[in-house]
Amino acid sequence: MKEWRGIPREEIPWFPSIDAEKCIGCKACIEFCKNDVLEYVEATVKTVVKHPYNCVVECRTCSRLCPTEAISFPDEKEFASFIKEKLSGVPR
């Protein structure tokens, strides 16, 4: 399992969420991100999150590229306190 700052990546809830109602299937996000996080689904003409834990912790670039603001991430402050708490339990 990959780690981030000593924490197993899959214990870190950082990944995009895509609002299917807002996604227009333009692929701007998927064309940018090479981390195999996102997948374009022909049948629905929308992009979905396929491998959430491949997302780079604290990256938000795809959400900035989305023309319809369909992509969101965890709240910054809540995430910062989550990480702080987690790190306090990591042996050094």
Q: Of the ranges 2-10, 19-27, 80-88, which one interacts with ligand SF4 (CB under 6 A)?
A: 19-27
- CA-based R_g, the chain, Å: 14
Give the other-Cβ count within 10 Å of 52's Cβ.
15
- The helix/strand/coil state of 53 is helix
* List 26, 74, 82, 86, residue binding ligand SF4 (CB under 6 A): 26
56 binds ligand SF4 (CB under 6 A): yes
Asked whether the beta carbons of 48 and 41 are under 8 A apart, the reply is: yes
List residues binding ligand SF4 (CB under 6 A): 16, 18, 23-29, 32-33, 35, 37-38, 47, 55-56, 59-62, 65-66, 68, 70-71
